[in-house]
Structure 1
Amino acid sequence: METAEIARRFLAFFEKNEHTAVPSASLVADDPTLLFVPAGMVPFKPYFLGQRTPPYDRAASVQKCIRTIDIEEVGKTSRHATFFQMLGNFSFGDYFKEKAIPLAWRLMTAPVSEGGFGIDPERLWVTVYLDDDEAARIWRDEVGVPADRIQRFGVEENYWSMGVPGPCGPCSEIFYDRGPEYGAEGGPAADEDRYVEVWNLVFMQYERGEGGTKKDYPILGDLPKQNIDTGMGLERLATVLQGVDNIYETDTLGRILQDAAERTGVAYGDDERSDVMLRVVADHVRSATMLVSDGVRPGNEKGGYVLRRILRRSIRNLRLLSGSDAAYLHGLTETAITAMEGIYPELRTDADRIHEVIETEEKHFSDTLRSGTALFSRAAERTLSSGSAQISGADAFQLHDTYGFPIDLTLEMAAEQGLGVDESTFRTLMEEQRETAKRDAKAKKLGNADISLYGRLLESAGSTDFLGYTDHESESRVLGLIVDGESVGAASAGDEVELVLDRTPFYAESGGQLADKGSVTAAGRGTVDVADVQRPVPGLFVHRGTVREGTVALDDRVEAAIDSDRRASVSRSHSATHLIHSALRNALGPSAGQAGSENQPGRLRFDFTAGQSLGDARLAEVEDEVNTVLSGDIQVRDFQTSLDEALSMGALAMFGEKYGDRVRVVEMSDYSRELCGGTHVGATGQLGVVKLLGESSVGSGVRRVEAAVGIDAFRRLSRESLLVSRLSEQLKAPREELPERIDSIVTRLRSAEKEIERMRAAQVLQQAGELAAGARQYGSALLVSHRAPDGTTADDLRRLAADVRQRLGEDRPAVVALITVPADRPAVVVAVNKRGQDSGFKAGDLVGLAARTLGGGGGGKPDLAQGGGSDTSAVESALRAVEQRVGETA
């Protein structure tokens, strides 16, 4: 049974049993305490916590999930994966154990012809919590599971909570017996490799309090309503129904894995190391495809960092498998889309964008590998100069964490330089990073109290009525007042407060538009200066500010007024953003999608997808087009319609945004039409002028333009005109000739710098002939040992040593040992010719001897090596040590 059919069958079964089939939520969590959705119940979390009232009593879903906490284990086992799908059915105060347990058993064991999964009931075992006699009785007496196939487990295995105050309760799990060839008899208690968990039924019936550990926390009592939350891994169930050993052999992951094997020329199953890498590639390519589909783009923070890491691990493993730097991800991404589109048809619709994002990151990482190589070289040089024989753990960690350089590549390149890597420190830093991430995650979970507070306000007060599209002032009532995270009845002068009003003209920050500022005044009582407005939960506007004077209390009638001039300036920026977006699409094509924006008073930034820079000429064309359109004074119209109708009209939707059935469309004739909740001007002529300030890269495949709008643009142009006038006067050149004149000056300056560098290097190398002529003889060998001027750089010292070695020729064994002391840290270089190496002289050994005398270390290849130390008084001793060793060897 294919995975898509398993998902379809699951939803169909529960729809027949009066459940609402809920589409998978985006992988990007709507919960501010989470980055991605890590479990099937997460989209329903506000209902279980009592923050929102569920729109249905029963639900079922196939939820996309991402977990990366164990990313290093992916591929090493047959169970770990970063992306997985959870089948789940949920009851919100409707049915409980007496119905959940029989429903699960019926779906698992009913014949395929009757809509079930057709699993032999004799191969199923169940577990219950230690004292959950009710669940045990239902399994035994009502379902008919033999008592000897019902096992009891403790808190660790069969009790659930969110880790924070809220609902908790016992679990009951269903296990599948894979057969005696997989392990010992005796059920899950005996062998969980043979008996595989496929479904976990959580019975939320108690409320837990603060404190305690995972195994021990206070139970405050029964929940007002008992809930059901079940979770069954789709991939794990597929292994059972498809008769394969692990998730990597199922129809979805298996297809990607085999394609990766064929493309890299590696057979799966022949070598464990290659098998691990193929499993990593299969999992990560699928995860990346699903993340990009949900609007995530590679970056250096949050979800973008996770996606980038996943893609880079894929690329690195593909290179190791194939032994080449060929680009593989286009084909593998297409295979992933084909494998998953049966469940998620939107993947095919988004295919072009998914390919573009992933291929751009693959190219970018190839460039990163080149940059990483240069960074590694500098780290190696620092290591040798300091006299150490190991790349520091901090350098290795920086290469890995900041630049995505894999540790195995760092180890390999270090070995080529005769160096090691301080892996112990590297692992310690990695562990500290993981612990920090865990602490951050735990801290975020504790934020549920704040979210719950907003949720309760929404439940009691209802949604805030936003009037800001038409009104800049409103008479409102204070429905909520928060100080220091607690609901209060009143606030006084100086207090930082959060206000919830029944209606408001204030725009809450969203869609790239900054929030309004202004004031909320209770006549005769007090005034709050509003500095920010947010929507911590959908529908609730929270006004954040400071009580300027007097007091403000619950139920006060207030006058809410925004700063109208600031609003007008922000609106101009937002409308300009739409125009720039359209102009960029006209210049680059539909692939130039919006990747972020920020609309401030008089200024904006707009991020868009593009593989390379626009260039000055095209940027000027975009600016000209925008100003031509706005000078036409096009009317700006907004209206509400259905999402499907808006998309059919060609309205642009931003990937990653969540839209309801009804959406707001903002259009400027046929030139621009977008889904947008922001505020705008009435006509484009109100923008005045738009001045693009420049373009830059902000990440892999993402460019940014910044612009000034209206009076701010005029002031910018005025300042630039004054600057050009001053330059023209100083350089005695007309304005139109300034670029050529400045280019000429810069060219002459660079030429002068290069000439100075050439002369300095030549001065150092002038010593080469004299040094070679003064070589001393030790037996049949020649030796040059010399302290170079202290201003000599390490690069010049290497060049000088190589030049002297060349002058000594190959007729006799020759050794050149040079030391310099730049910046109070001695550096030593030893060069040995081919005859010298054949006679037993090794540059790496000799430089190590000198460096140790200098209080440091070093190493390198037999023909040329470098080291360093810290003892400036030991330079002559280091040279004598080399002389002595040469004399002994000769």
Structure 2
Amino acid sequence: PVIDAVNRHLEKNKSTLTQTEKYIIADHMRAVAFSITDGVMPSNEGRGYVVKKLIIEMSDILLRANIKKPQVSNFIDVVANIMNKTYPEISKKSSNIKNIIDSVENAYIKVRKEKMPELLKSVKKSLTNSNKLGELFFSFRDTHGLTIDTITEILSTISVDKNILDTAWKQYHVLMEKQKEQSRASSKMTGDVFIESDLDLNVPKTKFLGYEQTSANLTLLKLFKENQEVDFVEKNDKIQIITDQTPFYAESGGQISDTGYFRANDNEIRILNTQKTNDIFIHLGIVEKGTFKKNDSVQGSVDNIRRLSIIRNHTATHLLQAAMREILGTHIAQQGSYVGEDRLRFDFTHPTAVKKDELNQIERKVNDFILACDPIVIKNLSLDEAKKEGALAFFAEKYGDIVRVVVAGNYSKEFCGGTHCQFTGQIGLFKIISESAIAQGIRRIEAVTGTVALEILHQQEDLVEQLAKKMKSSKEEILPKLTLQQKRLKELENQLASQQWQNIQETINNILENKKSIKNIDIISSNFKNLDMNLLRKISDSLKKKSSSSIIILGSHTKDSASLLLAVTDDLIEKGFKANELILEVAPLINGSGGGRPQLACAGSSEPAKI
């Protein structure tokens, strides 16, 4: 059925594909549909990178068949219909899946359109340098995302020596393999303190007490100093400690670890971090007083004030997801999180920026949950039972046969191994501080709770009071007064621009008289001080009206910046001179960058001396 849908689109667009390419689209489409439905969003890392790559490969096949508009998302309905009985979730989420695919495909089409001419120009400059060609292939594949087929298609338009091309592709594969090795190395788990070490961790699993208590008597089973096991430690030693049991939460699931102290009489170890590997907890700390030896008994005490701040943020993260699913839709799925003592961060699937009024609704809803002071209920269920109850799971986590489910009221139910409040009311206050994009189809909200939220509100109130004092007005009058001042400022700016334009018009003829001609092409250039880009455009338009077969280059500089405008007359565009290509040659001369259209392009730099 997917291939039939592809054939219909090909017939409509009068295009053709090989049978292999059709099968590729069909297979990729199914994989993308299931992945996004399960919460794997297109990104530049891990499984998300694979999904993004599959969408781009489908898009690239259709683009090379001369189908210029986004088409990939049109095949989602076919997959949804096929799988409707056995996997109805695809149909339920089809609209969101289409938006995500369109976002990736539109971005790729834009990059492909911009980067193909740039690659062609770069290749032409390096036709005899195989290493440089290999580096170009790698850069445009890895950094800009052009497919191998597209790069090959570009190469087919020019003549490249076969031996040089073969060597260039070998260089490409060397660079790609090196990049893969670096990626594999960086993807190794960093949460395990002793990863790839020779330390002996042959001890029983640590019993975690932190759900019920924040202090306990512990036995020091193993001591490590400078990655070597030792029998005793003394003041100022930086150490790792394994105990028989612990109230200290080890960093996992996005929640940071507990800190605190181990104490025995007058001896003291400050615990700075807690990690775990294979359910063995490793406490990292520094001896601040006295000495300790293996098998000593100590009192372990978590920094309770810090722990309370962390659990407020963690429980608030659950309430945030519940509020977002209610207000934005059930397509919202967690893609990552950070729970610290000072703030929380929640990454989630959503195709567009969350609007200000939506953020306000979400914030109000979370605070409603807090005011309800609902109990937080912890359940230990089998994995199947938890799923049947509708508990939400984070796709990147691995779960055992028995899972811990955290329930708040009748609105939040999630798999979670973190520490939490006993009642939602303990959070106190919830305040969103930012919303942003971190990848295609993935957004991020950062927020604060409790006294940190209150402090931010105090800071904002102080800022408003200072502003009112500066403007010699009441708080209520700030906005009207500011609006009036902006209006006056705009009027003055317009007057200044008008005066500047009158002065410049008198020099237009002088600029034209100083033009230089090269092979029947006029190069018209001039440099100005403190002119904005709008005025440079007006000057360019005026010069174009009075000239033909011309390339116009105008510069402007201030104390801290430089701007370039490059324009090309229509007759030269027809001969292959394009402003958006020429600016790529000129901009590096001022250590800047830019872009634009064939008729007009701009560039900027922070080095005015180079203008």
Matching residue within 298, 320, 326 for 2:70: 326
2:194 and 2:81 map into 1 onto residues whose CA distance is 39
Kindly indicate whether the alpha-carbon contact (under 8 Å) linking 1:642 and 1:663 is maintained by their aligned counterparts in 2. yes
Matching residue within 250, 255, 279 for 1:513: 255
Distance 1:819 1:686, change over 3 A: closer
CA offset at residue 565 of structure 1?
A: 1.0
Which residue of structure 2 lines up, in the alignment, with residue 304 of structure 1? 48
* Amino acid of the structure 2 residue aligned with 1:590: T
Distance 1:865 1:425, change over 3 A: farther
SS of 1:530's equivalent in the other structure is strand
Distance 1:743 1:510, change over 3 A: farther
Kindly indicate whether the alpha-carbon contact (under 8 Å) linking 1:397 and 1:426 is maintained by their aligned counterparts in 2. no
2:78 and 2:289 map into 1 onto residues whose CA distance is 62
Distance 1:775 1:675, change over 3 A: closer
Which residue of structure 2 lines up, in the alignment, with residue 532 of structure 1? 273
Distance 1:552 1:356, change over 3 A: farther
Gaps of 5+ in 2: 158-163, 590-597, 604-611
Which residue of structure 1 lines up, in the alignment, with residue 99 of structure 2? 360
Kindly indicate whether the alpha-carbon contact (under 8 Å) linking 1:597 and 1:607 is maintained by their aligned counterparts in 2. yes
Matching residue within 438, 448, 453 for 2:181: 438
Matching residue within 319, 331, 353 for 1:591: 331
* Amino acid of the structure 1 residue aligned with 2:469: E
Which residue of structure 1 lines up, in the alignment, with residue 592 of structure 2? none
TM-score (norm 1): 0.53
After superposition, give the CA deviation of every residue in 1:802-853 in whole Å (9 maximum; x if it has no partner): 7556446xxxxx654667787899999775859x99xxx9979xx99xx99x
* Amino acid of the structure 2 residue aligned with 1:475: N
2:482 and 2:136 map into 1 onto residues whose CA distance is 40
Distance 1:651 1:370, change over 3 A: same
Matched, 1:474 2:216: yes
Which residue of structure 1 lines up, in the alignment, with residue 357 of structure 2? 617
Distance 1:425 1:639, change over 3 A: same
Kindly indicate whether the alpha-carbon contact (under 8 Å) linking 1:801 and 1:830 is maintained by their aligned counterparts in 2. no
CA offset at residue 570 of structure 1?
A: 0.8
2:193 and 2:392 map into 1 onto residues whose CA distance is 37
Which residue of structure 2 lines up, in the alignment, with residue 699 of structure 1? 439
Which residue of structure 1 lines up, in the alignment, with residue 90 of structure 2? 351
TM-score (norm 2): 0.74
* Amino acid of the structure 2 residue aligned with 1:653: A
Q: CA RMSD in A?
A: 5.3
Matched, 1:636 2:379: no
Matched, 1:314 2:42: no
Matching residue within 303, 310, 322 for 1:563: 303
SS of 2:407's equivalent in the other structure is strand
CA offset at residue 491 of structure 1?
A: 4.1
SS of 2:436's equivalent in the other structure is strand
CA offset at residue 704 of structure 1?
A: 2.1
Alignment of structure 1 residues 41-56 onto 2, 5 Å: none
2:93 and 2:465 map into 1 onto residues whose CA distance is 48
SS of 1:516's equivalent in the other structure is coil
2:601 and 2:99 map into 1 onto residues whose CA distance is 39
Which residue of structure 2 lines up, in the alignment, with residue 125 of structure 1? none
CA offset at residue 468 of structure 1?
A: 0.7
SS of 1:708's equivalent in the other structure is strand
1:349 and 1:489 map into 2 onto residues whose CA distance is 60
Larger Rg: 1
After superposition, give the CA deviation of every residue in 1:52-97 in whole Å (9 maximum; x if it has no partner): xxxxxxxxxxxxxxxxxxxxxxxxxxxxxxxxxxxxxxxxxxxxxx
2:77 and 2:239 map into 1 onto residues whose CA distance is 49
CA offset at residue 488 of structure 1?
A: 4.3
Question: Percent identity at matched positions?
Answer: 25
CA offset at residue 428 of structure 1?
A: 5.7
1:562 and 1:294 map into 2 onto residues whose CA distance is 37
Matching residue within 452, 461, 480 for 1:721: 461
After superposition, give the CA deviation of every residue in 1:639-686 in whole Å (9 maximum; x if it has no partner): 322333333333332333222232222222223222222112222222
Alignment of structure 1 residues 106-145 onto 2, 5 Å: none
* Amino acid of the structure 1 residue aligned with 2:327: A
CA offset at residue 352 of structure 1?
A: 5.2
Alignment of structure 1 residues 4-403 onto 2, 5 Å: 260-265=6-11, 274=18, 277-278=21-22, 280-289=24-33, 291-292=35-36, 295-321=39-65, 323-329=67-73, 331-332=75-76, 335=79, 338=82, 348=87, 350-351=89-90, 355=94, 358-369=97-108, 372=111, 401-403=142-144
Distance 1:677 1:725, change over 3 A: same
CA offset at residue 506 of structure 1?
A: 0.8
* Amino acid of the structure 1 residue aligned with 2:390: G
1:777 and 1:478 map into 2 onto residues whose CA distance is 85
Matching residue within 283, 288, 300 for 1:548: 288
Kindly indicate whether the alpha-carbon contact (under 8 Å) linking 1:820 and 1:827 is maintained by their aligned counterparts in 2. yes
Alignment of structure 1 residues 852-867 onto 2, 5 Å: none
1:453 and 1:578 map into 2 onto residues whose CA distance is 36
SS of 2:395's equivalent in the other structure is coil
CA offset at residue 465 of structure 1?
A: 1.1
After superposition, give the CA deviation of every residue in 1:311-369 in whole Å (9 maximum; x if it has no partner): 22332323333513133235258539958x99xx6xx2642587466433322234424
Q: How many residue pairs are counted as aligned between the two chains?
A: 567
1:668 and 1:826 map into 2 onto residues whose CA distance is 58
After superposition, give the CA deviation of every residue in 1:167-196 in whole Å (9 maximum; x if it has no partner): xxxxxxxxxxxxxxxxxxxxxxxxxxxxxx
Distance 1:627 1:825, change over 3 A: closer
Distance 1:740 1:821, change over 3 A: closer
* Amino acid of the structure 1 residue aligned with 2:404: R
1:377 and 1:731 map into 2 onto residues whose CA distance is 53
After superposition, give the CA deviation of every residue in 1:719-740 in whole Å (9 maximum; x if it has no partner): 1111111122223444344445
Gaps of 5+ in 1: 1-254, 417-421, 809-813, 856-862, 869-890
1:866 and 1:578 map into 2 onto residues whose CA distance is 48
SS of 2:65's equivalent in the other structure is helix
1:614 and 1:803 map into 2 onto residues whose CA distance is 43
Distance 1:542 1:336, change over 3 A: farther
Which residue of structure 2 lines up, in the alignment, with residue 500 of structure 1? 242
* Amino acid of the structure 2 residue aligned with 1:315: S
Which residue of structure 2 lines up, in the alignment, with residue 731 of structure 1? 471
1:334 and 1:729 map into 2 onto residues whose CA distance is 63
Distance 1:317 1:716, change over 3 A: same
1:729 and 1:473 map into 2 onto residues whose CA distance is 50
Distance 1:404 1:455, change over 3 A: same
Which residue of structure 1 lines up, in the alignment, with residue 405 of structure 2? 665
1:800 and 1:738 map into 2 onto residues whose CA distance is 38
SS of 2:373's equivalent in the other structure is coil
CA offset at residue 615 of structure 1?
A: 1.9
SS of 1:535's equivalent in the other structure is strand
SS of 2:387's equivalent in the other structure is helix
* Amino acid of the structure 2 residue aligned with 1:698: I
* Amino acid of the structure 1 residue aligned with 2:179: T
Kindly indicate whether the alpha-carbon contact (under 8 Å) linking 1:801 and 1:817 is maintained by their aligned counterparts in 2. no
